[in-house]
Chains A and B, each alone.
Chain A
Amino acid sequence: GAVVSQHPSRVICKSGTSVKIECRSLDFQATTMFWYRQFPKKSLMLMATSNEGSKATYEQGVEKDKFLINHASLTLSTLTVTSAQPEDSSFYICSASLLAGQLGTTGELFFGEGSRLTVL
């Protein structure tokens, strides 16, 4: 149980285009999902908390208009990088948390496999 699927795993795009990354919870409903950015050999930096049916909560320094997050259903959150630039190239990872006890979990996070974005 508690599988999170992220798509696409790799995407290459030209500067100025928009890229959408999907994060799906396959066997549970996730009212809250998290989006992270990870630079090479670095830790995960939380970008925003995605709440189903409401606006995402962004971390300080993260541009809301650049990184659009939509959590339209209990199983899907999307991150759209708008007008992507080379400096947006990175590894983006989503995660979902379950309340302790759901699906036998203890409150840990479940991660997607990540999406590597390369902007030319």
Chain B
Amino acid sequence: SQQGEEDPQALSIQEGENATMNCSYKTSINNLQWYRQNSGRGLVHLILIRSNEREKHSGRLRVTLDTSKKSSSLLITASRAADTASYFCAMDTGGFKTIFGAGTRLFVKA
């Protein structure tokens, strides 16, 4: 399969709660990236974590990477209604090819 796997497929939470999304992949990677997509729009890059890094923060975002388990997680703290979107992990496997996960649709209720 071209895709990595993400879970959950969909997540509905209240504003102020934390949202956690997980991503698993099968091949070795150079880095893993997380993107956000609002409905009907292009993707926006959120954060990149390299294969030799284990955790990275950016504002309300926290990303972890476990290369031994081939998995990553994205945590959004203190979620807001404006965080409602689809979130994709993307694996850089080298050779200019980036493989996208199936995505998690997040809905934050005001």
Contact = CB atoms under 8 A, between A and B. Distances in A.
Interface of A: 4, 6, 32, 34, 41-46, 49, 59, 91, 93, 95, 97, 106-114, 116
Contacts of A106: 48
B48 A108 contact: yes
Interface stretch (B11-19, B37-45, B59-67, B69-77): B37-45
Interface in B65-110: 86, 88, 90, 92, 96-103, 105
A49 B97 contact: yes
9 contacts: A42-B102, A42-B103, A44-B88, A45-B2, A46-B2, A46-B100, A106-B48, A108-B48, A113-B42
Contacts of B98: 34, 46, 97, 109
Interface class of chain B by DSSP: strand
Interface class of chain A by DSSP: strand
Q: Bin the interface of chain B by size.
A: 20 to 34
Contacts of B43: 44, 93, 95, 109, 111
Contacts of A46: 2, 97-100
Contact of B33 (A6, A45, A108, A116): A108
Contacts of B101: 43
A110 B90 CA distance: 13
Contacts of A59: 2
A107 B40 contact: no
